Each structure stands twice: as structure tokens, then as C-alpha cells.
Amino acid sequence: ITWNTQKRYRPYEQWSTEYKKELLHSVAQSQWRLNYHIQPVTGLLNDPNGFSYFNDQWHLFYQAYPFGAVHGVKSWYHLVSDNLIDWQELGLALQPDSKYDSHGVYSGSAFPLGEQLLLTYTGNVRDQEWERHSYQLGALMDTNNEITKISTPFIPSPPVGYTQEFRDPQIFKYEEKYVMLIGAQNTKQEGQILTYISDDLKEWQFIGPLSFTDKKMGFMIECPNLVFYKGRPILLFCPQGLDKNICHYDNIYPNMYVVAEKFDLATNTLVGASSLKNLDEGFDVYATQAFNAPDGRALAISWIGLPEIEYPTDQEGWAHCLSLVKELHLIGDVLFQQPIQESKKLQTTPMQKLKGTSFTESFDLHTNSYEAKLTFTKDAKGTITLFHDPIKNNGLTISFDSKHGKMKVDRNHSEHPFASAFGSQREFEITKQPLNLQIFVDSSVVEIFINQGEQTLTARYFPEKSATALTVMTDKNWQGTLFPLRSMK
Ligand code: FRU
């Protein structure tokens, strides 16, 4: 299929049964389908949406275009879970079927209200001249997961001084008010986060751009999320076109965060906000969504994929996945992201104790679905190769030098390179201490938690089927544990 605008915006019901069957067949042939990560049935997945706990279950939606690996007209796809690990697919939920969302049900959030879950999202509309119009909309889901759209927009247009690049609402409650944050662009082409407040979730009052930096946040901010850890705010957001002197990044667009002392709603300010930091050191994290769960945890999940980048599975009719659910906490101004404790449910036997005394050790589980926990001494240097094909010497390599606090990841040695225009290496500093890595490998994705989650590194990598070895080369003794992981149930 050659994709053009007309095809990308074709009404869903016009795709033939025959075409859908072929697409399913094509996806089923893929050697890169994932075992325990959320992935699209067919077509393209992007941002996580509406992550919430409601009606005794975890709910999660994602941006979906089911008919090909392109950014076509989007819907929300719905999943539910009892344990944040095994997700049941419920199918398309919100679809682009009203005059306020005809060209896409874009990203947004969820907020439980007793027996109903309030969904807020952006309706994307293109007019005759193909000009964009953005509406901030609402819908209510009941305990049978039946959704009814609210017929009038919460916010029918951006405020004066802002363009129609205005989307991705997050609703939460703060000091007796409902707060809505929206990603925006002003008419000077600057990225901003706009704050609205409400007493009744019906009338929304604009109070201005959220104050958290004096720097220019690129030309647009997407997917803002404010969550709290012990009362302290953590702001996650995606500034597009950010000047690399403000905070260095290599990906086409970064997912960044700041932490602060306090959110002062009266002045719409993150008081004592830190400078910007990359949320992930790797290649593929974007549009992370977080919320404060009723059990007290701040939980986050990321889109593993980037806008405007082609991936090797596009040819197979599917693209992208979501990350594992991560728990956020702060130590000082440092954000830690850890795998949730439920991720242990994926572990199966036989668990293998690893010990390295020789310089090179290679392990082959004959599958790319495992968790490895590795610890190295504080003066060790070495290289870890995942998806290793020892004959061609292909694989994703992580080189580290604990003494000098350096790490480098390289995904250049691959039969299936992609996104090469943005570099195939990522280099960054790590804390000078005994290095601890918790690595989750799943078929064509890896998520690495460095030093108890002080940093994370996420990457897609597309190996040949036989490239299933994990190789560790180091100059000092080391230890580890290896668990084969089961598939999602
Ligand atoms: C981020 C994003 C959002 C938008 C959605 C559309 O990846 O561009 O800003 O709501 O994707 O799918």
C-alpha cells in the first residue's frame, strides 16, 4: 500500500475484510512480535492514554491506528488488568465519529469519579483548507466499560495568543480544585503548558501558562503530566524543537522532566523547579504518561517509539509498543524509575545464578525473553552485548566504566538499522559506584534500569532470529541472576 492523506483518513468501515485479514496475516509472520509488552494487534500504536485505576481494575488506553504502520486517523484502544502485567484487550474505545474529533481522537487522561471514569482527550479536526482545530473533550465510561461522549467541548478553542497546536489534557485534583494541563504552542511559536481550573468539571477557566522554567521550551510541548511523590511535583513533558544547549538530547524529540519543591496553584508555578533532564538515556522513549494511583504509587508508562521515525516493522503492518509500568520516586532532586514489584510475576524457572571470573561469558536462553540482574564492582570496565550473534558480531552493546562514571550504548551493529540520522550511539554519565543493571529483554525491545532506576535506557533493536545470546566481557569479577520471562497472559 502507498500511504497518502486520503488513505490515512479513510473511514474505518471502508477497509475491506480481505485487507484486514491480509494485515493480520502479515503481522503474524513477524519475528519481532513481543511477549510481555503491550503492542498493537495491527497497525500503529503511539501514546499511552487514560492510565488509571477504576472499578477494581487498572485501565489503560493507547493511541491506535489499526490499518497500517502510519499515523492515520487515531482512536483510543482499551486494555484492562488486575496486576499491571497481564493486560486484556478490549478493542477500540473512543473513535473519531463526532464533529469535534473527526480527524483523530488524540491523547488524554482519565480521572475516576465514583461509578464513572472521566476521559479527557483532544479532538483533532481538519477543515476544508486542511487547517487544524483542536477541541478539549470529555467522555464518561461506566462500570460496564460503556463510553458516552460529552456532547459539548470542555474547551472549544485555545486562548488568545495560542495556536491550534493545543492538545493532550491531563486532569487531576489539587487543593479542592480540578486542574487541567494542556500541551500548547503560543503565536510566537514557543512550547508551553497551559493550566485550566474548574470546580465542577464542566466550566473550565484558563489561568495561564504553567511557570517552571525561564528557558524557551522549543516550538511545542506535547503530553504534559504532573504527578506527585510525597507532595513534591514531578513534571513529565515532551518539548519539540528544544535547543540542545538547554538540555542535550539525541532523539528527534526528547521526553524530559523537572522536579520541584511544590506546586503553587495560586501563582501557577512549580516552586523550586530543577533544570530539565532526559527521562530516558536511550533511543525510543516518548509521551510517557504518569498518574498517582490510589495505592499511593506514582506509576508511569511510556510509548516506546518516536514521531516521524520509520521502524523495521512498518513493512510488516505494525509498529511500536508500550514500556513496562514503572514506579517513580524521588531522592533529593533525582527521579528514580523502577520496574513495579509486580514485574516479578513474569519470572519463570530455572533461574540461573551467574558469576563471571573469566573475561568473557556468554549465555544463551534460546529466546529473547528474559530479565538479567548484573552487578559489577566500582572499578570495573566492560561490555555487555544483548541480542548477540557471536558469528557476525551483531548485537546491542552497552559499554561501561564505573570508575569514571561513563556508559555508552551502541545499536549500530545490526542487520536492521533505523533512525540512523539521529545517531546509533548514546553516551552519558552514571554515578561512580558499583554498577547495578536490571535488564528486561523482549524479542525486539530492551528496557534497562541503571543503579536502582536512577537512570533508564530503553531501545528497540531488531535482531535476526538466532541472535539470542547475552555476552558479558569485563576486567573484574561480577555477579548476576538470569530469569527466563513468561509471556503476557
Ligand atoms: C504525541 C502526539 C500527541 C497527540 C498524539 C496523536 O506522540 O503527537 O501530541 O495527541 O500523538 O496521536
Domain harbouring 351, CATH code: 2.60.120.560
How far apart, in whole angstroms, are the C-alpha atoms of residue 123 and residue 141? 17
Residue 155 in any domain: the answer is yes
> Do 98 and 229 share a domain, yes or no?
yes
What are 305's three cell numbers?
517509539
In the numeric block, the cell 480540578 is attached to: 178
Domain that holds residue 393: 347-484
> Do 105 and 234 share a domain, yes or no?
yes
How far apart, in whole angstroms, are the C-alpha atoms of residue 87 and residue 141? 18
Q: Does ligand 1 lie within 6 Å of residue 167's CB atom?
A: yes
Q: Quote the Cα angle for 178-184-190, to 5°.
A: 135
Distance of CA 84 to the CA centre of its chain: 15
Task: Judge contact between 418 and 310, C-beta under 8 A.
Answer: yes
> Do 252 and 353 share a domain, yes or no?
no
Q: Does ligand 1 lie within 6 Å of residue 297's CB atom?
A: no
User: What is the 104 CA–ligand 1 centroid distance (Å)?
Assistant: 10
Q: Into how many domains does the chain fold?
A: 2
Is 442 part of the annotated catalytic residue set? no
Strands 277-278 and 232-240: unpaired
Q: Does ligand 1 lie within 6 Å of residue 444's CB atom?
A: no
Residue 319 in any domain: the answer is yes
By three-state DSSP, how is residue 20 classified? helix
Q: What is the pLDDT along the chain (489 residues), one digit of tens a residue?
A: 899 999 999 999 999 999 999 999 999 999 999 999 999 999 999 999 999 999 999 999 999 999 999 999 999 999 999 999 999 999 999 999 999 999 999 999 999 999 999 999 999 999 999 999 999 999 999 999 999 999 999 999 999 999 999 999 999 999 999 999 999 999 999 999 999 999 999 999 999 999 999 999 999 999 999 999 999 999 999 999 999 999 999 999 999 999 999 999 999 999 999 999 999 999 999 999 999 999 999 999 999 999 999 999 999 999 999 999 999 999 999 999 999 999 999 999 877 888 776 667 778 778 899 999 999 999 999 999 999 998 999 999 999 999 999 999 999 999 999 999 999 999 999 999 999 999 999 999 999 999 999 999 999 999 998 899 999 999 999 999 999 999 999
How far apart, in whole angstroms, are the C-alpha atoms of residue 67 and residue 64? 9
Residue 18 in any domain: the answer is yes
Give the end of a domain, one of 302, 322, 341.
341
Q: Does ligand 1 lie within 6 Å of residue 307's CB atom?
A: yes
Nearest ligand 1 atom to alpha carbon 74 = 12
Q: Does ligand 1 lie within 6 Å of residue 223's CB atom?
A: yes
Please report the pLDDT score of residue 289 as a whole number: 98
> Do 335 and 356 share a domain, yes or no?
no
How far apart, in whole angstroms, are the C-alpha atoms of residue 238 and residue 62? 17
Please report the pLDDT score of residue 354 as a whole number: 83
Distance of CA 366 to the CA centre of its chain: 28
Predicted-complex ipTM score: 0.99
Please report the pLDDT score of residue 358 as a whole number: 63
DSSP 60-75: EEEEEETTSSS--S-E
Please report the pLDDT score of residue 359 as a whole number: 63
How far apart, in whole angstroms, are the C-alpha atoms of residue 38 and residue 51? 13
Q: Does ligand 1 lie within 6 Å of residue 149's CB atom?
A: no
Please report the pLDDT score of residue 363 as a whole number: 81
> Do 381 and 329 share a domain, yes or no?
no
Task: Judge contact between 238 and 254, C-beta under 8 A.
Answer: yes
Nearest ligand 1 atom to alpha carbon 222 = 9
> Do 219 and 316 share a domain, yes or no?
yes
> Do 77 and 178 share a domain, yes or no?
yes
**Annotated catalytic residue, options 47, 250, 280, 284:** 47
Residue 43 in any domain: the answer is yes
Nearest ligand 1 atom to alpha carbon 223 = 9
> Do 57 and 174 share a domain, yes or no?
yes
Give the end of a domain, one of 341, 359, 386.
341
Long-range contacts of 266-270 (CB under 8 A, 24+ apart): 267/211, 268/195, 268/207, 268/208, 268/209, 268/210, 268/211, 269/210, 269/211, 269/212, 270/210, 270/211, 270/212, 270/233, 270/235
Q: How far is residue 472 from each of residues 158, 302, 425, 450, measured CA to CA in Å?
A: 53, 28, 19, 16
Task: Judge contact between 464 and 414, C-beta under 8 A.
Answer: no
Nearest ligand 1 atom to alpha carbon 303 = 7
Residue 469 in any domain: the answer is yes
> Do 319 and 465 share a domain, yes or no?
no
> Do 73 and 130 share a domain, yes or no?
yes
Region of 335 please: left (phi>0), alpha (psi -120 to 50) or beta: beta
> Do 355 and 461 share a domain, yes or no?
yes
Residue 489 in any domain: the answer is no
DSSP label of 137: E
CATH at 165: 2.115.10.20
Q: Residue 363's closest CA among 428, 439, 280?
A: 439
How far apart, in whole angstroms, are the C-alpha atoms of residue 346 and residue 363? 20
How far apart, in whole angstroms, are the C-alpha atoms of residue 335 and residue 103? 36
Residue 376 in any domain: the answer is yes
Task: Judge contact between 375 and 354, C-beta under 8 A.
Answer: no
How far apart, in whole angstroms, are the C-alpha atoms of residue 457 and residue 451? 11
> Do 331 and 425 share a domain, yes or no?
no
Give the end of a domain, one of 306, 341, 376.
341
Please report the pLDDT score of residue 245 as a whole number: 98
